[in-house]
Structures are given as structure tokens and as C-alpha cells.
């Protein structure tokens, strides 16, 4: 039986388990990346493991999220990460060099290699045929130390692309269509693999837009083959030697197939507040727009911004629209400056931002009250923009640029004639002067680690208790995101290495009284609906509840990365045996899990007793042997120390 692209890479990297779908497998990790908002914690964890030098082929630390320096905190974290990187064999991409996923694709990614990153959009690397996954910081720290990365051996969904995109229809519209079909939970436990004759017409940056937003499907990763198109891209990046061909065998077997004829797609938008709430732009046309933001790791490539510059050339953005543009990398920014496109953007009235995540993570450019904001980003979760009642729509760069001019939702296919041909440059501008190589092993001893006062100790983890009795301090609904659990934004992000401070904002979007109530209860259980923990890879969404005394999270279903983060933090993730039982528990009920440890260790059924209601509810733990050991050790850090 033939193999798919993902299966080939997994097979080459398998170090534990067997390639049986649904079972846990361990893979060797070739490359890692971190960004600063998750990186400070990841490097503290790496330090705690006591490894001198990273054991990966390539590890890179990026600074791209916390670039607003409204106090000393972010600048201190940059220095800390820079010094840690230098000492331990990690390349350091300095602030100003761009968004981790964009830069990694340009300068470091290699087809056929495995990559994990402490950021959920790491699957961007799938655009050049990498098996690239988002992971919690602790998993990345373990991988840097040479440890194995564990995932559930995935089902493979084949998205077969036929035809060619029409003028002004974009890669973003392709992934929005996939999201419409599969929804934000459709990818959980799955890898999305793109094949079909349609892929030949998609350049690497377009493929990367599609794999990037596979994160919004909840997928383990998304991947394209490595073909002639990939070779051309790597050649233009001066990295031809990194190319290898990887394609699925002709008799590869997929678990399911989704067919999309690219020529039938129309410009679309993901409407508030979910990336799968898709409508055609034609249906929204004419509605007023207050803000347009172009950038983020999804749509900030040279190609994207050249399209935007072509549309904006000689025009002025509408008087009622604030237009902000953030190029994805220094390479993109500098090329736009050198070819004059930047002047066209500036002339149109665009507010040019530094190349970083910026507004995507609420670091500035929050829209006005109830403001309608069209963004080329990947997430439109409630409150994420920094404006609680902001109405965020996710669109292509083409739709964004056209609407910035007209001041209303505008379908670019109705506004513009034939699209000029946009070709990748034969040679990108290569100047890696903002990437610091690490110190040599001989010099590493002399490197001093520069720690700021904002770094506070890691919360205390405890081994799984024999029994747990605690109150359901919070009950939430379906599709709770990590932005609900641990919001980000300009006011909070600087405190990513200060869990006690962050804890005040835990679940602030749902219930501002939660932190105080949880601390008072000392021990608590959170009850939730399906796809709990979707979105970001931030382990803070587990570490902060841990600090607040959360012992168990009981839900209908989990998002992959968050479930691992809970286990890594020593919090027990449980699911309802019967989803309807969710309705039986009310917030405030007293719950008991008698003989829990015995049941977990002995693989016996776990029953939850709702003492307030006087009823028994069957629940599932579904833990692999390794996950059990991590919980019994009191989290992954303890487990790793015990086993090294």
C-alpha cells in the first residue's frame, strides 16, 4: 500500500510506537522555533532541564509578538531570549526581522523535515513540504533537549485541488472554503494533505497561507508536496540545496477526500467571531468598513503585499477607513522599499507598521467601538483585537485592499478587471544580518544570561491525587478558545513570564469573577463543551488555571495542543462519556472523582459523582501510558527530570 506525504515523513522520523491511526506515536524533531510570547517560558523550562546545547539540527528563537515596548518587560524578555539562544546553540531572529512563520519559511524550513514551534501556526512550514506542528512551550523545550515529540497518529484528509483560481480570487479564499466545509473542529486528530493538478498553479507563499490557517481547522498539521514550485522558491531564496522531492505515492490511501475546483471559488470572508463562519463577499457587499489591517503570518508575503501595492497605487484609502499594513519580514519590507511599492502604500495613506504580529494579537490598532475591521489575518475570536465589541472579518489581501479604497465590503472581482500576473521574484533579497548565530560550544560558557525582574517562578505542579473533590467553579460552552482562557493583547502580553499577574485575566472574556472565585475555592474543576481550547498553542492557558488551583477540565471534546498542554501542566483532562451529560452539571456543583488514581492507573472506568445533584456521570480519561506517567509525576517537567 502506498504512502501519503505525511506518512512518509512520519515513518522516517518514527522513534516510538507504530503507525496505527489513533494511537500515540513519538517522532524525532529536526527543527524547532519559538516566538517571544511563548518563548520566555519555553526557555525557562529548557534551562530547568539542564541541557547545555540544543540537540536539534536547527533551532531558532524569534521576536515578533511582544514588540510594543510600553514598559521594560518586553525589552527584558528580548534580551533574555537573545542571551539564552546564544548560550545554548539557538539562532536568534532579532526584533525587526519579522514574523516567525514567514521568516522560517524564507530562511530555514526544509522539505521532508519535522518542525515543532511554540506557536499554533507552525504548520505554515507545510507549504514547503515540512511536517510542522504547533506545540506547547514545554514540548518544544523537550524537543530542543533531544526528546521525542508525541502526537496521535493522524488520519489523513486529502484535499484535492483541481482547476485554477480566477482573477482576484486568492489562496485565502481556498482555506476559507476548506474551513466552511470542515469547520473549526473538523481537523482535530487529522493531517490535511493537499494534492491534485490545481496545486501546480499555487506558489509557495500561497500554499503557506493555506497550511497556516489549517491551524484554524484544529488539524495536527497541513502539508503540500515538495515539487518544482518548491524548488523554484528555495532557489529564489538561495537555498536550492535544501530541496528534496516529496510526493504521495500514486496508490496512497486517504481516510477521506474533499474536492475543491479552484475555478469555482469566489472571494469570501470569515465573519465574527469564528474563522469558519464563512460568507461570500458578494453577500456582504456595500456594508460600511471602519478599519482594514493587512499582514500577519497568513498574508504578509512579498506576493501578497505586491498585490496590495498594485491595487492601492495612485489611490487614497477611504476617509472613514484606517488602513494598517505590516509586512511579514524584513526581506519583504526591504524588497518593497527597494522596488518602490512601499512608496505606493505610503502614498495611499496606509499606516505602515513594523514587521511583526502587531494587531493580529491585539498589540495595537484595536478598532473603534463596534468597529468593523477587515483583516487578512487568521483569527477573529471575540475580543482578540483588543476591542470587546469589535467586528472582525477575515479576508484576502485583494478584498482588504479594495475595500480600504471604497470604504465598504467590496468584491475585488467586481471592482477590478483582469488581474496582472504576479510572479515570484527569481531572486529574493537575501540579507540575514538580523539573524544572530549562536556562540560556539567553546565560547558558550562565557555568555551571561540576562534576566529581567518580570520573570516569576513557574507554578507548583502536583502529582495526580488519589481522589479529587472540588467545585465546578466555571461552566462554559462550545468552541472556547485559548484567547478566552488566557487573553493576550497589549496590556497582558508583557506578563507572559509572570503567571501570578496573568492569572487576574484568566477567562476575563467569559467571567471576570473566575480568578477570584477559583483562588478562594483552592481546588476547582472547569466544565466545558466541544473543541475546548482551540486556537493558540499558549501553555499559559494551562499554567494559569494550574496556578488558580484547577485540577480537572471536563469537556465534551478538546483541541489537540491544549489537551497536551493540560497534561504537561499536570491537570487532568476528562471528557463526558455521553455528551448530553454536560447539561446535568451546573456551575457551582460539588463534584467528586473517588479512587481516581487507581482508576487511571488500572485503566478502570472513571465515574464522576455530582454531590450537589446526587447523580453519577461516566467520564473518559483516554490517556496514553506516557500521559499517565506525566500526570503521576506532576507534569512534563518533573517527568523529564525523572527520566533523564
- Contact footprint for ligand MIC (CB under 6 A): 37-38, 65, 119-121, 134, 361, 379, 488, 535-538
Minimum CB distance to ligand MIC smaller for 148 or for 536: 536
**Cα(84)–Cα(89) distance, integer angstroms:** 9
Rounded least distance, CB 372 to ligand MIC, Å: 21
Question: Within 121-160, which residues bind ligand SF4 (CB under 6 A)?
Answer: 121
Task: Please provide residue 471's backbone torsions phi and psi, each rounded to the nearest 5 degrees.
Answer: -90, 145
Tell which one of 119, 193, 411, 589 touches ligand SF4 (CB under 6 A): 119
Using the minimum distance from each CB to ligand MIC, give the nearer residue, 435 or 492. 492
Q: Please report whether residue 103 would count as binding ligand SF4 according to CB under 6 A.
A: no
Smaller CB distance to ligand MIC: residue 78 or 551? Answer: 78
Least Å from the CB of residue 488 to ligand SF4: 8
- Nearest approach in angstroms of CB 522 to ligand MIC is 27
Q: Say how far apart CA 52 and CA 90 lie, in whole Å.
A: 11
Is the CB of 269 or the CB of 633 nearer to ligand SF4? 269
Q: Report the distance separating Cα 222 and Cα 207, nearest Å.
A: 10
Residue 394 is a binding residue for ligand SF4 (CB under 6 A) = no
Q: Of 80-88, 304-312, 355-363, 407-415, which part binds ligand SF4 (CB under 6 A)?
A: 355-363
C-beta separation of 549 from 523 below 8 A: yes
Residue 140 binds which one of ligand SF4, ligand MIC, none, with CB within 5 to 8 A depending on kind? none
- Pick between residue 99 and residue 219 the one whose CB is nearest to ligand SF4: 99
Q: Which of 31, 34, 36, 27 is nearest to 9 (CA)?
A: 27
CB of 620 vs ligand MIC, minimal distance in Å: 27
* CB atoms inside a 10 Å sphere around CB 124: 35
Measured between alpha carbons, how far is 491 from 494 in angstroms, rounded to an integer?
7
CA 223 to CA 211: how far, in whole Å?
6
Residues in the chain: 644
User: Could you say whether residue 74 binds ligand SF4 (CB under 6 A)?
Assistant: no
297: contact with ligand SF4 by CB under 6 A: yes
Cβ-based neighbour number of residue 224 at 10 Å: 30
Cell numbers linked to 294: 493587512
- Tell me which of ligand SF4, ligand MIC, none is bound by residue 296, counting a contact when its beta carbon lies within the kind-specific cut-off of 5 to 8 angstroms: ligand SF4
- When the beta carbons of 134 and 198 are compared against ligand MIC, the nearer one is 134
Burial call 45-68: b when 16+ CB within 10 Å, e when fewer: bbeebebebbebebbbbbbbbbbe
State the nearest-atom distance from the C-beta of 357 to ligand SF4, in Å.
Answer: 3
Q: How far is CA 471 from the centre of its chain?
A: 32
Q: Which residue has the cell 502614498?
A: 347
Q: Which listed option, ligand SF4, ligand MIC, none, makes contact with residue 222 (CB within 5 to 8 Å by class)?
A: none
DSSP string, 233-247: HHHHTT-GGG---B-
Return the number of the residue (123 or 412) whose C-beta is nearest ligand MIC. 123
Residue 236 half-sphere exposure toward CB, CA atoms < 13 A: 19
C-alpha cell at 183: 469547520
Q: At which residue does the C-alpha cell 516566538 appear? A: 35
174, 603 Cβ separation under 8 angstroms: no
Residue 486 has which C-alpha cell?
488566557
Q: How far apart are the first and last CA of the chain?
A: 38
Cα radius of gyration (the chain): 24
Peptide bond preceding 51 in cis form (omega within 30 of 0): no
CA distances 497 to 92, 152, 355, 494, Å, are 19, 29, 23, 8
Q: Which is nearer to ligand SF4, 145 or 327 (CB)?
A: 327
Decide if 391 contacts 385 (C-beta within 8 A).
no
Residue from the set 5, 61, 90, 99 that interacts with ligand SF4 by CB under 6 A: 99
C-alpha angle 276-10-254 in degrees, rounded to nearest 5: 55
Question: What is the rounded CA–CA span in Å between residue 488 and residue 642?
Answer: 33
Residue 206 binding partner per list ligand SF4, ligand MIC, none, with a CB distance cut-off of 5 to 8 Å that depends on partner kind: none
Q: In terms of CB distance, is 199 or 559 closer to ligand SF4?
A: 559
Q: Is 482 in the site for ligand SF4 (CB under 6 A)?
A: no
Positions of E strands within 284-377: 291-294, 322-325, 351-352, 372-375
- CB-based contact 136:153 (threshold 8 Å): no
Cell numbers that stand for 410 in this block:
467590496
Minimum Å gap between C-beta 121 and ligand SF4 is 5
Query: How many residues touch ligand SF4 (CB under 6 A)?
Result: 11
- 296 sits near ligand SF4 (criterion: CB under 6 A): yes
Q: Which does 99 bind (CB under 5 to 8 A by kind): ligand MIC, ligand SF4, none?
A: ligand SF4
27-66 residues in contact with ligand SF4 (CB under 6 A) are 65
Tell me the C-alpha distance between 227 and 233, whole Å: 10
Q: Report if residue 115 touches ligand SF4, rule: CB under 6 A.
A: no
| 38 interface partner picked from ligand SF4, ligand MIC, none, CB below 5 to 8 A per type | ligand MIC
- φ, ψ (nearest 5 deg) of residue 214: -60, -25
Binds ligand SF4 (CB under 6 A): choice among 41, 293, 335, 360? 360
C-beta of 582: minimal distance to ligand SF4 in Å? 30
Is 361 a binding residue for ligand SF4 by CB under 6 A? The answer is yes
> How far apart are CB 291 and ligand MIC at their closest, in Å?
19
Nearer to ligand SF4, 113 or 384 (CB): 384
Residue 90 interacting entry, from ligand MIC, ligand SF4, none, C-beta within 5 to 8 Å by type: none
The residue (of 410 and 537) whose beta carbon lies closer to ligand MIC is 537
Q: What are phi and psi of 206, to 5 degrees?
A: -70, -45
Residue selected from 156, 357, 464, 485 as contacting ligand SF4 according to rule CB under 6 A: 357
> Which does residue 538 touch among ligand SF4, ligand MIC, none (CB within 5 to 8 A, set by kind)?
ligand MIC
Q: Give the H or E element holding residue 59.
A: strand 58-62
Contact status: 176 vs ligand SF4 (CB under 6 A): no
Place of cell 528534496: 244
Q: Scanning the structure block, which residue is given the C-alpha cell 512563520?
A: 101
Report, in Å, the least distance between residue 58 CB and ligand SF4.
Answer: 19
Q: Quick check: 564 binds ligand SF4 (CB under 6 A)?
A: no
Closer CB to ligand MIC, 272 or 634, in the complex? 272
If the CB atoms of residues 276 and 581 are measured against ligand SF4, the closer one turns out to be 276
Nearer to ligand SF4, 376 or 575 (CB): 376
Q: By the criterion CB under 6 A, which residues form the site for ligand SF4? A: 65, 99, 119, 121, 296-297, 357, 360-361, 377-378
Amino acid at each position: 500500500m502506498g504512502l501519503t506525504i505525511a506518512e512518509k515523513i512520519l515513518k522516517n522520523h518514527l522513534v516510538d510506537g507504530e503507525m496505527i491511526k489513533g494511537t500515540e506515536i513519538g517522532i524525532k524533531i529536526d527543527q524547532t522555533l519559538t516566538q517571544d510570547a511563548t518563548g520566555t517560558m519555553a526557555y525557562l523550562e529548557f534551562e530547568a532541564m539542564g541541557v547545555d546545547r540544543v540537540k536539534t539540527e536547527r533551532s531558532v528563537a524569534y521576536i515578533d509578538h511582544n514588540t510594543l515596548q510600553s514598559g521594560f518587560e518586553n525589552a527584558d524578555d528580548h534580551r533574555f531570549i537573545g542571551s539564552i539562544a546564544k548560550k545554548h546553540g539557538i539562532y536568534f531572529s532579532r526584533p525587526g526581522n519579522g514574523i516567525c512563520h514567514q521568516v522560517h519559511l524564507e530562511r530555514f524550513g526544509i522539505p521532508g523535515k519535522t518542525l515543532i514551534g511554540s506557536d499554533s501556526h507552525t504548520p505554515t512550514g507545510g507549504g514547503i513540504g515540512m511536517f510542522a506542528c504547533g506545540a506547547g512551550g514545554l514540548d518544544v523545550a523537550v524537543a530542543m533537549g533531544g526528546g521525542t515529540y508525541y502526537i496521535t497518529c493522524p488520519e489523513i484528509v486529502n484535499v484535492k485541488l483541481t482547476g485554477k483560481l480566477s482573477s482576484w480570487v486568492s489562496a485565502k479564499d481556498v482555506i476559507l472554503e476548506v474551513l466552511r466545509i470542515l469547520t473549526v473542529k473538523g481537523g482535530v486528530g487529522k493531517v490535511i494533505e493537499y494534492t491534485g493538478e490545481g496545486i501546480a498553479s499555487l506558489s509557495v507563499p500561497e500554499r503557506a497561507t493555506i497550511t497556516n490557517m489549517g491551524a484554524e481547522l484544529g488539524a495536527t498539521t497541513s502539508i503540500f508536496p515538495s515539487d518544482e514550485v518548491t524548488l523554484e522558491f528555495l532557489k529564489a531564496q538561495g537555498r536550492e540545496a535544501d530541496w528534496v522531492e516529496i510526493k504521495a505515492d500514486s496508490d496512497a490511501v486517504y481516510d477521506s477526500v474533499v474536492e475543491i475546483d479552484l475555478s469555482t471559488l469566489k472571494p469570501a470572508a470569515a465573519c465574527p467571531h469564528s474563522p469558519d463562519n464563512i460568507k461570500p463577499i458578494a453577500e456582504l457587499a456595500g456594508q460600511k468598513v471602519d478599519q482594514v489591517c493587512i499582514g500577519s503570518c497568513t498574508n504578509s508575503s512579498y506576493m501578497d503585499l505586491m498585490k496590495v501595492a498594485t491595487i492601492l497605487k495612485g489611490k487614497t484609502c477611504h476617509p472613514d477607513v484606517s488602513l494598517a499594513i505590516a509586512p511579514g519580514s524584513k526581506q519583504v519590507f526591504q524588497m518593497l522599499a527597494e522596488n518602490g511599492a512601499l512608496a505606493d502604500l505610503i502614498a495611499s495613506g496606509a499606516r505602515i507598521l513594523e514587521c511583526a504580529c502587531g494587531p493580529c494579537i491585539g498589540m495595537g490598532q484595536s478598532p473603534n467601538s463596534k468597529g468593523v475591521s477587515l483583516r487578512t489575518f487568521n483569527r477573529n475570536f471575540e475580543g482578540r483585537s483588543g476591542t470587546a465589541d469589535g467586528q472582525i472579518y477575515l479576508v484576502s489581501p485583494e478584498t482588504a485592499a479594495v475595500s480600504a479604497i471604497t470604504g465598504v465590503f467590496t468584491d475585488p472581482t467586481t471592482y477590478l478587471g483582469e488581474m496582472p500576473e504576479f510572479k515570484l521574484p527569481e531572486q529574493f533579497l537575501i540579507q540575514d544580518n538580523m539573524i544572530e548565530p549562536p556562540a560556539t560550544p567553546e565560547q558558550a560558557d562565557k555568555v551571561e544570561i540576562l534576566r529581567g525582574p518580570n520573570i516569576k517562578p513557574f507554578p507548583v505542579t502536583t502529582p495526580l491525587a488519589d481522589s479529587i473533590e472540588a467545585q465546578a467553579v466555571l461552566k462554559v460552552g462550545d468552541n472556547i478558545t485559548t484567547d478566552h482562557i488566557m487573553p493576550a493583547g497589549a496590556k497582558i502580553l508583557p506578563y507572559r513570564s509572570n503567571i501570578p499577574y496573568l492569572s487576574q485575566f484568566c477567562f476575563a472574556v467569559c467571567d471576570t469573577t473566575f480568578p477570584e472565585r477559583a483562588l478562594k475555592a483552592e481546588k476547582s474543576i472547569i466544565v466545558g463543551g466541544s473543541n475546548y481550547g482551540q486556537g493558540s498553542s499558549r501553555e499559559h492557558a494551562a499554567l494559569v488555571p494550574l496556578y488558580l488551583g484547577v485540577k480537572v477540565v471536563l469537556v465534551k471534546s478538546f483541541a489537540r495542543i491544549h489537551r497536551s498542554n493540560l497534561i504537561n501542566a499536570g491537570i487532568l483532562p476528562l471528557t463526558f462519556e455521553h455528551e448530553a451529560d454536560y447539561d446535568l452539571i451546573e456551575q457551582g456543583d460539588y463534584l467528586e472523582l473517588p479512587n481516581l488514581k487507581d482508576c487511571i492507573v488500572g485503566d478502570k472506568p472513571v465515574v464522576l459523582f455530582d454531590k450537589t445533584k446526587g447523580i453519577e456521570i461516566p467520564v473518559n480519561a483516554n490517556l496514553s501510558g506516557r500521559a499517565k506517567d506525566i500526570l503521576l509525576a506532576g507534569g512534563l517537567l518533573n517527568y523529564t527530570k525523572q527520566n533523564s
